[in-house]
Amino acid sequence: MSSPSMTSPALRAHGRAGTALALLYVFLWASAFVPSRVVSRLGQPLWILTLRFAIASALMAVVVAALGRPWPRTPAAWIQIAGYGLLANATYLGCTYEALRHLSSGMGAIIASTNPLLLALVAPALLDEPLTLRKVAGLLLGFGGVLIAMSARAGTQAARPGDVLLAFLGVIALVGSTLVFKRLRTHEDLLAANTIQLGTASVALLPLAGLAEGAPRLVPTAELTLSLAYLVVVMSLGASFLWFWLLRHGEASRVSAFYFLTPIFGLALGALLLGEPVRPLDGLGLAAVAAGIVLVQTAARGAPAPVQET
């Protein structure tokens, strides 16, 4: 069972604390750009993802056992959670890492930012989430802000059609994973769910890594070790759990609108850690993104559904 503080109205994903957690999640998501860039230079992204998910799943399994958390109670729940892992980690990150071998980071960020738009289009029919005019305006404004901030960068880098298509297929898979999780008929323990989905992604990527990249040739340097540790602990364990909580306690389309901040945070971290330039249009883009998120978060909606205990 979850603690009372985790199920109080103040901590629902559309409240102030929920907004703060959503911002934290997006910041963590954007922060993964730096270690991902480091490990991508090794030329074996599928092996790196396989190793990352295997280590994270093993660590999470130890936590689940130590805390005595319950595993899913029905075969259907196991299948749905495993399906989430196949879509959100194996497919989305697999496609993204492969596309970023050649695709510019600017174009990659723009493509990734279509996630809230795609989800908002299918949410009314599949998740019973209303698509109001205010929400549509906010989504379009947020995406416009991303385009403003990334336009100069995207135009100076390679963007081959095949890489663009691969990245977009990854986004479609990510949207599908959100739908799978939101349609779970039972509220399973989030720690156990994270363990299952990470393990599934690792098993699914293992044969693909062998076929596409041959035998692993990863040298355990300090750069690789630190980057992989960050991706495992902060992203696969911490950020994944946080995303599950946000999806469980709020509308998927409203929570996903914060994804528009991913490239903005990425630009800030790139400037701070990698010395990348900041352009005048970045401020205008950030303002548009912020305004769009405010519109989505304040879109008219019915009374929020009660939060279920886990």
pLDDT of residue 136: 80
Q: What's the predicted TM-score (pTM) here? A: 0.76
d(CA 85, CA 266) in angstroms, rounded, equals 24
Q: Which tens digits make up the pLDDT trace of 249-260?
A: 776 666 667 777
76 token code pair: 């259907």
Q: Which tens digits make up the pLDDT trace of 270-285?
A: 667 766 666 777 777 7
pLDDT of residue 270: 66
More confident: 129 or 99: 99
The fraction of the chain above a pLDDT of 90, given in percent, is 27
Q: Stretch 123-138: mean pLDDT, rounded?
A: 77
Name every residue whose Cβ is closer than 8 Å to that of residue 94 and which is 6 or more positions away in sequence.
Answer: 45, 46, 49, 170, 205, 208
CB 187 within 8 A of CB 248: yes
**What is residue 80's three-state secondary structure?**
helix
Q: Is the pLDDT of residue 13 over 50?
A: no
Give which of 304, 247, 301 is closest to 138, Cα–Cα.
301
d(CA 254, CA 294) in angstroms, rounded, equals 10
**What is residue 214's three-state secondary structure?**
coil
Q: Is the pLDDT of residue 305 over 50?
A: no
Q: Which tens digits make up the pLDDT trace of 203-217?
A: 999 999 999 899 988
Indicate the pLDDT class of residue 293, thresholds 50, 70 and 90.
confident
DSSP 245-307: HHHHTS-HHHHHGGGGGHHHHHHHHHHHHH-----THHHHHHHHHHHHHHHHHT----PPPPP
Chain center to CA of 9: 24
pLDDT of residue 294: 75
Q: Is the pLDDT of residue 31 over 70?
A: yes
Indicate the pLDDT class of residue 150, thresholds 50, 70 and 90.
low
